Amino acid sequence: MARILLLSGSPSASSRTRRVLDHVAARLAGHTVRTISARDLPPGPLLAADTAHPAIAELVAAVDDADGLVVASPVYKAAYTGLLKAALDLLPQYALAGKVVLPLATGGTTAHVLAIDYALRPVLTSLGARHVVQGYFLLDQLITVAVDETGRERVVIDPQAEAALSEVVDGFLAALRNAVPDTPLARVS
């Protein structure tokens, strides 16, 4: 069983990005999964780079403890959010050394699809990620929320986008199996 951290860079409490991460978390059942939203970090310590603050120290510890990370952000102005950048900037220089990372992005237009490769991937690589796997960009219009008969919300992703997302999540899990071969992960997923 791998330890996987899902990191949301969305500034919105009810964002499509966070819902996609929740959807991915369900696909990672059988692993230890934890989600941290950068929006929940205290703004003062986040922007002042106060790594001694307990919430910031907890983020750094969670990254350190993880075997793999799923890093997700909406795309604004052709890049991932400044909120996510502020959180990533608090990590030690090689915080992702030995880790497998799956970058995900959501956005309103396909004009933003390259934000993963040209904006997010270089930062993840500079943090020493062992392997940044094939990322995935989801158009906002392909992500909807349905309410079941009990009033519980669930994410509904367009079937073609869902198939592609499943493929990149499977690739992430395969890379984790290769990165952490001495754990029961090889028998799970």
- In this structure, is residue 138 part of a structural domain? yes
- How many structural domains compose the chain? 1
> Given this model, what pLDDT does residue 181 score?
58
First to last CA, the chain: 9
Give backbone dihedrals phi and psi of 74, rounded to 5 degrees, phi first: -70, 160
DSSP conformational letter for 64: H
Average pLDDT over residues 110-134: 93
Task: Give the H/E segment covering residue 19.
Answer: helix 16-27
Q: What's 168's domain CATH number? A: 3.40.50.360
- In this structure, is residue 76 part of a structural domain? yes
Dump pLDDT digits (tens) for 23-46. 999 999 999 999 999 999 999 999
Dump pLDDT digits (tens) for 127-151. 999 899 999 999 999 999 899 889 8
Residue 152 binned pLDDT confidence (cut-offs 50, 70, 90) = confident
Look up the domain containing 167 and give its range.
Answer: 3-183
